[in-house]
Copies of this chain bind each other. A is one copy, B any other.
Amino acid sequence: MNQAPQKILQFESIDFQNMEKQYRTHLINCLSGAKSANLIGTIDQQGRENLSIVSSVVHIGADPALIAMVMRPHTVPRDTFENIQQTGFWTVNHVNSEIFHRAHQTSARYPKGVSEFTEVGLTPEYLNTFKAPYVTESNLKFGVELKEIIHLKINGTELVIGEIKHLIIPEKVLGKDGFIDLNLAGTVAVTGLDAYHELSALDRLPYAKAPRTDLIKP
């Protein structure tokens, strides 16, 4: 980006409003940067399985271990949202570079009651009596219990908050300080609606400290 003079574009609210809908959707979805690609596994009250890809999982806190995700109930993942409301449980399965095509395909609008596991070729598994299906082909996955759903009036989305109750992780990706090597786990990132990326490690940086100005005071 530093080579030569380059043309810089600027957009304002009015420009967003005037954009063609699909163009705007692509553009705005890219602005939040790198996003996690996760498969959300659920069952309904009849035990029928559902799997959907979600890019909005966000860390809320470590103690208790809380995550959230933003769901738009009237679009494709509505089965996921309804299942979570019904059962109170879901799994989060990291998408890796071997399964990202199949993971993406779960975003298709399959008829109600059809299992995306079967349709895209991923394997459901039940671990440790947890009440939602995991994805066998995912290397790193965890089970979440619903704590709270917050309706965001501003655009009708739902913030679904849950506590991490159960974690499955290969020993070799877990470091001595608790850090997980997601490169080694094959975890991918998504940008926008449809672009998948491997993570290529730059560096881990030390805990940042300010200079101790107290030591240089007279």
Q: Which residues of A contact B (CB under 8 A)?
A: 1-2, 6-13, 16-17, 19, 21-38, 55-68, 70, 72, 92, 94, 96-98, 100-101, 104-111, 114, 119, 127-128, 139-140, 142, 147-148, 150, 152, 154-155, 157, 159, 161, 163-172, 174-175, 177-180, 182-192, 194-210, 213
Residues of B within 8 A of A107 (CB): 208
Residues of B within 8 A of A1 (CB): 96, 98, 139, 170, 184-186
Residues of B within 8 A of A174 (CB): 9, 27
Q: Which of B164, B171, B186 contacts A7 (CB 8 A)?
A: B171
Residues of B within 8 A of A111 (CB): 210, 213
Q: Which residue of B lies closest to A27 (CB)?
A: B178
A-B contact pairs, 25 of them (CB 8 A): A1-B170, A1-B184, A9-B174, A24-B63, A24-B65, A26-B175, A27-B174, A28-B63, A31-B180, A33-B37, A34-B34, A34-B37, A34-B187, A56-B58, A56-B59, A101-B203, A105-B208, A108-B210, A114-B210, A119-B210, A148-B152, A191-B199, A194-B206, A196-B204, A198-B202
